[in-house]
Amino acid sequence: MLIRLGYDIQFDVPAPLAFVAQLRVHSSRVAELREPDVVHVTTSNVSDGEPTAVPTTEYIDSYGNICTRFHAPQGHLKIWTSTMIDDSGLPDPVEWGAKEIPPQDLPDNVLPFLLSSRYCEVDSLSAVAYELFGSVAPGWNRVQAICDWVNSKVTFNYGMTRPTKTALDVFTERVGVCRDFQHLAVTFCRCMNIPARYVAGYLGDIGVPLRLPMDFSAWFEVYLDGKWWAFDARNNVPRIGRVLMATGRDAADVAFLTSFGSSTLTKFFVVSEEVPPEADALDVEGI
């Protein structure tokens, strides 16, 4: 299937401000793009309102994510894209026989995903994790048991999160948004010596009831049998149309947009939806 991807994010910027965005489709899926995936950045001032392009540069961070840098002048800032990607149209793969790999046998680049990080306090939750999941069969069964527990014990509520909320906070308060569900599940996996990394990307309501408004999404991946597998403690069912944007130890590594100063968000719109087979092209410039 073809999936239409895009966003329109706008700010009022009171003074010149530096930004770093992680809004590109991940390099592992670039080959499947049907149209260029470009982070368009424009600015306009109050007097004339005419948008002008803001120069951008790109680099690849230590996790393989494509990052876009730019310096916005004072005025109204708009960041947008519109693209399409080929997708299998199949739900997330499930492999109940996937096995855990002992820490001593893991590749060097996987080991960091066993350690504590900014939002995932492995040391504080290890005893709890072993009490809850130590008797569960290792491998896929154990990861699914962790997802089942988090999904059933934590309540989703947009109004009950905060930028500083950690996995330990989520365990204590039992409420949060998608990133909070994933942080707790990631931490429990690491406590059980299962490498786990936080993932950010697009996840439209394909094959499930429509939920509005659309937003970017978070899930996580675990390393079993020599590969990374997608899990989602928030939705806890295989989903269609996940499009990876960035991976990291936790949300601190995969922020969609980081600004080095203050600005005011005025618009936030995201789209991720199946393109009808008869559609020849997209006509969503500027969303």
Whichever domain contains 69, its CATH number is 2.60.40.2250
Half-sphere exposure of 56 (CA within 13 A, CB side): 23
In the prediction, which pLDDT does 278 show? Answer: 67
Same domain, 162 and 221: yes
Q: What is the mean pLDDT of residues 150-164?
A: 93
| Contacts with 261 (C-beta within 8 Å, 6 or more apart), sequence order | 15, 17, 18
Half-sphere exposure of 71 (CA within 13 A, CB side): 1
Same domain, 230 and 123: yes
Q: Is-cis flag, bond preceding 93, omega within 30? A: no
pLDDT at 226 exceeding the cut of 70: yes
Asked if 115 and 187 count as a contact pair (C-beta separation under 8 A), the reply is no
CA-CA-CA-CA torsion sign (262, 263, 265, 268): negative
Half-sphere exposure of 72 (CA within 13 A, CB side): 32
Residue type, 141: N
Tell me the pLDDT tens digit for each residue of 55-85.
999 999 999 999 999 999 999 999 999 999 9
Same domain, 116 and 219: yes
Q: Return the structure tokens found at 213.
A: 């408004």
Same domain, 12 and 82: yes
Whichever domain contains 236, its CATH number is 3.10.620.30
Let me know if residue 93 belongs to a domain: no
Let me know if residue 97 belongs to a domain: no
Residue type, 244: L
In the prediction, which pLDDT does 276 show? Answer: 87
Q: In whole angstroms, what is the distance from residue 283 CA to residue 287 CA? A: 8
Measuring CA to CA, how many Å separate 185 from each of 77, 168, 171? 36, 11, 10
Same domain, 74 and 182: no
Same domain, 72 and 147: no
Same domain, 69 and 117: no
pLDDT at 283 exceeding the cut of 60: no
Same domain, 112 and 212: yes
Range of the domain at 75: 2-88+255-273
Same domain, 107 and 229: yes
In the prediction, which pLDDT does 18 show? Answer: 98
Mean of the per-residue pLDDT values for the chain? Answer: 94
Let me know if residue 266 belongs to a domain: yes
Give me the number of domains the chain comprises: 2
Same domain, 38 and 147: no
Let me know if residue 51 belongs to a domain: yes
Let me know if residue 32 belongs to a domain: yes
Same domain, 121 and 172: yes
Asked if 217 and 178 count as a contact pair (C-beta separation under 8 A), the reply is yes
Asked if 192 and 141 count as a contact pair (C-beta separation under 8 A), the reply is no
Q: Return the structure tokens found at 181.
A: 């569900």
Q: In whole angstroms, what is the distance from residue 2 CA to residue 85 CA? A: 6
Q: In whole angstroms, what is the distance from residue 222 CA to residue 133 CA? A: 16
115-139 core/surface letters (b: 16 or more CB in 10 A; e: else) = ebbebbbbeebbeebeebbeeeeeb
Let me know if residue 83 belongs to a domain: yes
pLDDT at 160 exceeding the cut of 70: yes
Let me know if residue 43 belongs to a domain: yes
**Phi-psi category of 152—alpha, beta or left, where left has phi over 0 and alpha has psi -120 to 50?**
alpha
Let me know if residue 158 belongs to a domain: yes
Model-level pTM? 0.92
**Residue 199 buriedness (CB in 10 A; 0-12 / 13-18 / 19+):** buried
Q: In whole angstroms, what is the distance from residue 155 CA to residue 148 CA? A: 13
Same domain, 133 and 59: no
